[in-house]
Amino acid sequence: MKLGILETGAPPDGVRERFGDYPSMFRKLFGEQAYDYATYDVAAGALPGTADACQAYVVTGSSAGVYDALPWIAPLSDFLRAAKGEVPLVGVCFGHQIMAQAFGGQVIKSPKGWGVGLHRYRLGEARPWIDADEPIAVPASHQDQVVALPPGATVIGGNDFCPIGMLDYGASRAISIQLHPEFEPAYAKALIENRRGSRYTDLEADRAVMSYEQPDDRLRVGGWLKGFLAQATSGRV
């Protein structure tokens, strides 16, 4: 399967050199040989010519906000609306937010502040690509949140801090998650240290780093995303 990675941002300087870019993180999560990958630097103005240029798409994270006046936000939103229901879509963090906004939901900079560190989500309704309904612990790094559901979307995961943390768009063959299964703990901790004193206080940074002493479920969730893509492209979702 040809999987398009819609790259909407990049790790900060000083971290990217050690851990690579977001497309490389997804290739590592899914497996380098799992798909025929095609990467589109959306933030630089690159998008597929048509939705059927790939059999499915993943939208990455970004430091941008979906409400920012950036020249690439509207074209990406238009592309996602055109692709919805035509090919499977997966959104992660910013990808979760831009899909929700493009499809009629609302995203804001949350007054709750930053969600950073290993976050635990409760799961709701079962899905054929989810192995069990046990809670998941996956890296988080976000201040923006989806606060109003798009039409036709169902919440299937979240917590008290981020109630709309995972969405399923049903027959439209699209899912999204606010968490970052592609973030290895070493990268997540390096990102926190890069932002210590600017985005996070020392106390917030210390707590977030300490959270990675616990085991995580990022590979389990990565398997869910692969399972969804397999079932969605075969028409079994």
Out of 54, 96, 162, 182, the active site residue is 182
Is the separation of the CB atoms in 145 and 107 below 8 Å? yes
DSSP 37-92: EEEEEGGGT---SSGGGSSEEEE---SS-TTS--TTHHHHHHHHHHHTTTS-EEEE
Residue 29 near residue 222 (C-beta atoms within 8 A): yes
Give me the catalytic one of 7, 54, 93, 119.
93
Q: How far apart are CA 219 and CA 183, in angstroms?
A: 10
Q: Which of 7, 162, 180, 184 is catalytic?
A: 180
Q: Mark whether 182 is an active-site residue.
A: yes
Whether residue 93 lies in the annotated active site: yes
Cβ-Cβ contacts under 8 Å for 157 (sequence gap 6 or more)? 121, 122, 123, 124, 136, 165, 166, 177
- E strand or H helix at 146: strand 144-148
Residue located via tokens 């936000």: 73
Q: Is residue 54 annotated as part of the catalytic site, yes or no?
A: no
User: Which residues are designated catalytic?
Assistant: 93, 180, 182
